[in-house]
Amino acid sequence: MKKILLLTLPIIAFSANSDLNNNLDKYHTLVSKWVMDKSDVVDRYLASKDDNKNLSNTKVSVAYEIGSTSKGKFSNNYDFSLSLNLPRFKDKVNLTLEKVNAYKSLINSKESFLSKSDSQTNSDDNYNLGISFSQWSGKKYATHLSGGVRFNSKFLLEPYVGVVSSYNIKSTKKTEINIKNTLRYYLAGEIKDNISSQLLYNYGSDVLLGWLGNFEYTSKSSKQTLTSEFILQKEYSNYNFYRIGFVANAKLTHFKNPKKNDFYIYFKYHNKYQNKDWMFYEITPSVELRKENKYHTTVGLKLKVGATFGGIRDLFKK
């Protein structure tokens, strides 16, 4: 997957040419149709139905990011996720395959600044293949049981079972407050718990103010991580926005004695590429103060491109 993404970058870089743009659109339609067709095959097989009333919204997303770390070194990161949507079978199962990234915002498709730690190397990348089932949901509360396996590039498998619960405390045109808890027990003995919360306020029609919080616990460590992110986001459309943010995290020992750790101030510009709703790019300069660098100010820069395939039925009618 990484090699495919690396080969894709030159195509994106030179795709200002109209012919290349047309080829990109044809390539996207072809891949999206293949993704949707395979999803329908699975859905029909599991549900034993042969109707077209419910259409799948299966999506495959890929992204590649390059930048400089707090130590001034070059870094690169890639993301991959598959959400297999089975509408005929939706009350029984949902399957996802994705690269494990720490601290993602609950805001759809607009991940937190700390999507990946600079100290994490590509050799440590983990993936998660999960199936959720027995879902109970209401207007404000939803929970489901899940099971799956975490694995890395060396295919070291770690099966798990878990419970995911979410509670929508408040949801209006102006304000949204919710919290999500993900608890997992790995059969090797590790217990992991992640609590994410967000408070969002719409100031006017296109300005978003917010606070994103995250707490991480693992039984393998005596340390816990508490992170807060404050954002101001200006939205021009569903695909175009810029965000100014401040991030601070702290380390706790046995849930006590929180100590300051790292601080970040960043500016993120996100937009779709060449009027393509399925492709985007991001530019994120930042100022970082890390404990490991004795809080000396360092400047970082991240460039990211990404694409989503599948889930757009109108493309196949052309």
Specify the 3-state DSSP secondary structure of 311: coil
pLDDT tens digits for range 224-263:
999 999 999 998 887 889 999 999 999 999 988 888 888 9
- Residue 4 corresponds to which tokens in the numbers above? 């495919």
Band the pLDDT of 181: cuts 50, 70, 90: very high
Looking at residue 316, its pLDDT comes to: 40
For residue 179, the model assigns a pLDDT of 94
pLDDT of residue 89: 66
**pLDDT confidence of residue 17:** 59
The closest of 286, 284, 285, 276 to 307, measured between CA atoms, is 276
DSSP H or E segment with residue 12: helix 2-13
The answer to whether 181 touches 162, Cβ cutoff 8 Å, is no
Domain residues of the chain, as ranges? 2-317
| CA–CA gap between residue 308 and residue 280 (Å, rounded) | 9
98, with CB counted inside 10 A (0-12, 13-18, 19+), is middle
Distance between terminal CA atoms of the chain?
29
Task: Report phi then psi at 110, rounded to 5.
Answer: -125, 80
How is residue 33 annotated by DSSP?
A: H
Q: Is the dihedral of CA 181, 184, 190, 191 positive or negative?
A: positive
| Beta carbons within 10 angstroms of residue 291's beta carbon | 13
With 80 as the cut, is the pLDDT of residue 122 above it? no
Q: Name the DSSP letter for residue 317.
A: G
The pair phi, psi for residue 47, each rounded to 5°, is: -90, -15
Q: Shortest CA distance to 273 belongs to which of 23, 24, 19?
A: 24
Best CA proximity match to 215, nearest among 243, 190, 195 = 195
CA 59/CA 162 separation, integer angstroms:
24
- Whether residue 63 contacts residue 108, with contact meaning beta carbons closer than 8 Å, is answered with no
What is the reported pTM?
0.76
259-285 burial, b at 16+ Cβ within 10 Å, e below that, comes to eebbbbebebebeebeeeebbbbbebb
Q: Is 29 helix (H, G, I), strand (E, B) or coil?
A: helix
Helix residue ranges, H only, 14-107? 18-47
Phi, psi of 48 (to 5 degrees): 55, 40
Q: pLDDT: is 25 or 159 the higher one? A: 159
State in words which class domain 2-317 has. Answer: mainly beta
Alpha-carbon span 203 to 219, nearest angstrom: 41
CA dist., res. 40 & res. 45, Å (int): 8
pLDDT band at 107 (very low <50, low <70, confident <90, very high): very low
The token duo for 73 is 């070194």
Q: Are 130 and 95 in contact (CB under 8 A)?
A: yes
Locate 243 and state its tokens: 């965000």
For position 135, what pLDDT does the model report?
A: 62
User: Residue 285 has what pLDDT?
Assistant: 92
